[in-house]
Amino acid sequence: MIDTTSFPDPTYRDTVLAPLFDAAKAHYAGPVRAINRAHLVMLAEVGILPGATAAALAGALAAIDAELDLPAITYTGEHEDYFFLVEAELKRRLGPDVAGALHTARSRNDMDHTVFKMVLRGHADRLQAQALALAGALIATARRERDTLIVAYTHGQPAQPTTFGHYLGAAIEVLLRDIARLSAAREALDLCPMGAAAITTSGFEIDRHRMAELLGFAAPLRNSYGCIASVDYVTGLYSAIKLMFLHLGRVVQDLQFWTAFEVGQLHVPNSFVQISSIMPQKRNPVPIEHLRHLASMTVGRCDAVVNTMHNTPFTDMNDSEGEVQVAGYAAFDSAARVLSLLAALIPACSVRADRVAANMDAACVTVTELADTLVRREGLSFRQAHEVAARTARAVIAAGQPLGAGFAAFAEAFHAETGRAPALDAAAYAEAVSPARFVALRARFGGPAPVPMEEALAAYSGDAEALAASLAARTARIRAAEIARDAAFARLQPE
């Protein structure tokens, strides 16, 4: 017969404890098992527990892990949480004295933050891998579209010619910096809280470095108070994620603008288009809208986690623990959907050269190079050249002509400003306002011309490879720790 007199209030049970238990079943059982095994190995290795006790605990933990059907368990309130459920199982199998020995020199405080870090490092590493996959897709697309002309916009208006590859290069640079920020934030997850116990470590001669090693961390987190009070591993991580999706959302907004009927410089293939239920002519690039709102949802979910920490005390507290940790995992879900969809969509899109040419003609986007050419070849000051170019642009726009057909307007504007005829003839003028020549002349470091673009693409690939190597090293360390921990735990178990 179970004594229910000490059970929690039903409302407290259903609104707080049961959801936390369900979260533990979904997210934390594996890390708790790993911590139990690692802690037992460490206690045995340093001699805090005698061999017979360690063997009994190892055998019981292995049996519990094999026999406990955790997904089938419905929370009743008999045990406060998953930690006490395991402890109760140990007591049932070994008795209270032996069972209680496992908890020597540790607390749920250091265990909780270690569990949270172990879960977050998995999410963060998967997110970084997906972000690197997106970077790879963008680099490949930028290489393919290196010479594909587009209209670049400033303040929502046509500005100058560039290439789709050059535009993507800018997005790639931001994404790689965001991945580097994510990787830097991930470093805080590599410091292990175990051994801090409640606040101040322990009077037992535990080996905190060994615990960190067995759990795949780079090192222990030094200050034991900080192990249970510092939440910058949470705020730093979600801040880095927020920035990535805030920045990607800006690119998504450009995709939406470029696919508008009035602009039309980006073509989205039918596989990414939905039709209207009533208007037969409509081609709706709906995935772009989903990208936009999923990126915004990710930003909002990150803000929710970070803002929960605002004005909280610098101590152990529930505000940084179960509920908010689980809430944050939704940010990884929406983030993964953005990265996956964007990596599929952008390579599938193409630039509509006819719409680009029409928009360039209508907006005189090469007129800057006309002014530059007048400085170089006619000896004008840039201010004089700017005035001639402006007069020429106004005249051809009023006449509905493309800039390339406006030599007569140019000659008139030049004479009005300088009092003489230009040395440029019609052919030289046409070359000066050619979009392809505009881009080819922008061969400076970081420009859209082929040589600097090839240099940039090589640099992007190198940066991505370095970030991928760092991720692979972290993954390998965690896997090696799992193998070593399981082997050490197996050696403790009775024959």
φ and ψ of 303, to 5 deg: -60, -40
Q: In which region does residue 201 sit, left (phi positive, over 0), alpha (psi from -120 to 50) or beta (all else)?
A: left
In terms of Cβ atoms closer than 10 Å to its own Cβ (0-12, 13-18, 19+), residue 10 is: exposed
In single-letter form, the type of residue at position 390 comes to A
Segment 49-69 shows an average pLDDT of 94
| Whether pLDDT at 292 is above 80 | yes
What's the whole-model pTM score?
0.93
Q: How far apart are CA 367 and CA 389, in angstroms?
A: 6
| Whether pLDDT at 277 is above 90 | no
Please give the distance of CA 171 from its chain centroid, rounded to a whole number.
14
Q: How far apart are CA 182 and CA 27, in angstroms?
A: 22
- pLDDT recorded at residue 1: 41
**Structure confidence by residue, pLDDT tens digits, 64-115:** 999 988 888 888 878 888 888 899 999 999 999 999 999 999 999 999 999 9
| Whether pLDDT at 2 is above 60 | no
**Structure confidence by residue, pLDDT tens digits, 152-175:** 999 999 999 999 999 999 999 999
Paired tokens of 405: 């057909």
| Whether pLDDT at 3 is above 70 | no
CA dihedral 299, 304, 306, 310 (to 10 degrees): 140
| Whether pLDDT at 310 is above 90 | yes
Q: How many CB atoms lie within 10 A of CB 439?
A: 23
Q: How far apart are CA 360 and CA 342, in angstroms?
A: 27
- pLDDT recorded at residue 5: 56
**Structure confidence by residue, pLDDT tens digits, 410-426:** 999 999 999 999 999 99
- pLDDT recorded at residue 251: 98
**Structure confidence by residue, pLDDT tens digits, 313-361:** 999 998 888 889 999 999 999 999 999 999 999 999 999 999 999 999 9
Residue from 378, 374, 377, 408 nearest 392 by CA: 408
Using the Cα atoms of residue 447, residue 451, residue 457 and residue 459 in order, give the sign of their dihedral. Answer: negative
Segment 33-38 shows an average pLDDT of 97
Segment 433-456 shows an average pLDDT of 97
Residue from 114, 121, 94 nearest 35 by CA: 114
In terms of Cβ atoms closer than 10 Å to its own Cβ (0-12, 13-18, 19+), residue 7 is: middle
Q: How far apart are CA 33 and CA 486, in angstroms?
A: 11
162 strand-pairing partners? 150
Given a contact cutoff of 8 angstroms between Cβ atoms, the answer to whether 124 and 325 are in contact is: no
Paired tokens of 90: 């140990």
